[in-house]
Amino acid sequence: SQKIEQNSEALNIQEGKTATLTCNYTNYSPAYLQWYRQDPGRGPVFLLLIRENEKEKRKERLKVTFDTTLKQSLFHITASQPADSATYLCASRMNYGGSQGNLIFGKGTKLSVKP
Amino acid sequence: EPEVTQTPSHQVTQMGQEVILRCVPISNHLYFYWYRQILGQKVEFLVSFYNNEISEKSEIFDDQFSVERPDGSNFTLKIRSTKLEDSAMYFCASSDSGGYNEQYFGPGTRLTVT
């Protein structure tokens, strides 16, 4: 079955450093991957989308890469701040080729940025 | 900035009771979704809705669940006879098109079944 996996449950880093989060997918080839931020007790908030034909996408301090050979996406936050502390979710469309954007999510990586 | 709203924020119900969770998607969006998240687990897709009908549904979305868009603004999820295992956070989401576009999630309704 299609799987999105985020193997690191938690990542602790010092303020100012770059956080790198990993998302792996198995048993399918997603047309895109999306990254969301989720704060405790809140709904996911969209951050970035990268398509399979894009190697890299940037938005302010965020950067996401997509490696179809490794079946992996990396999500980077540069110059991290305590306010970046949250759970970050990787997601992709569940049924490739379908018209709907039903998402399958990874379990998320909880990022803690210490001052 | 437009946002998805959900009511109530917290619903407590007894096993076997019916509950209706309400959502107001972003006004010009055409695609609507329900997801759930059991505490400490992944966000899971339940159902998608477009053009006044269900587009896709997951295995979780069995006969106990139904969705409706009763008017031009509300989108509801009904659980007919709640079970203990239905306790979760339920998120409504909407997007302006299917496929690649990002989805906008509401703040969620925490459902507690006792």
Nearest CA-CA distance, residue B98 and chain A, Å: 5
Structure tokens at A68: 């179809």
Residues of chain A neighbouring B45 (CB-CB closer than 8 A): 94, 102-104
**Mean pLDDT over all residues of chain A?**
91
Of B45, B93, B100, Cβ closest to residue A32: B100
Structure tokens at B5: 């709203």
Architecture of domain A3-95: Sandwich (2.60)
**B69: containing domain:** 5-113
Whether pLDDT at A2 is above 90: no
pLDDT of residue A102: 81
Residues of chain B neighbouring A32 (CB-CB closer than 8 A): 100
CATH of the domain at B91: 2.60.40.10
- B9-60 pLDDT tens trace: 999 999 999 999 999 999 989 999 999 999 999 999 999 999 899 988 999 9
Cβ atoms within 10 Å, residue B103 = 27
- Best residue in A45, A100, A105 for a mutation probing chain B (most B CBs within 10 Å): A100
pLDDT of residue A100: 60
Distance from C-alpha of A41 to C-alpha of B110, rounded to nearest angstrom: 9
Q: B98 and A107 in contact by Cβ < 8 A? A: no
What are the residue boundaries of the structural domains of chain A, listed by start? 3-95
Number of domains into which chain B is organized: 1
pLDDT of residue B97: 80
Distance from C-alpha of B18 to C-alpha of A50, rounded to nearest angstrom: 40
- B59-87 pLDDT tens trace: 999 999 999 998 878 999 999 999 999 99
Comparing B58 with A102, the larger pLDDT belongs to B58
pLDDT category of residue A67 using cuts at 50, 70 and 90? very high
A103/B contact by beta carbon, under 8 A: yes
Close Cβ partners of B99 (under 8 Å, ≥ 6 residues apart): A93, A99, A100, A101
Q: Which of A41-50, A96-105, B56-65 has the lowest mean pLDDT?
A: A96-105
In contact, A18 and A78? CB cutoff 8 Å: yes
pLDDT of residue B7: 97
Q: Which residues of B touch A (CB under 8 A)?
A: 4, 31, 33, 35, 41-45, 48, 50, 55-56, 58, 89, 91, 93, 95, 98-108, 110
| Radius of gyration (C-alpha) of chain A in whole angstroms | 14
pLDDT category of residue A94 using cuts at 50, 70 and 90? low
- State the average pLDDT over residues A49-65: 94
A10/B contact by beta carbon, under 8 A: no
pLDDT of residue B53: 92
- State the average pLDDT over residues A2-13: 91
pLDDT category of residue A96 using cuts at 50, 70 and 90? very low
DSSP reduced 3-state for A82: helix
Highest mean pLDDT out of A29-33, A48-52, B8-12: B8-12
Cα dihedral across residues A75, A86, A44, B40: positive or negative: positive
B91 to chain A: closest CA residue: A43
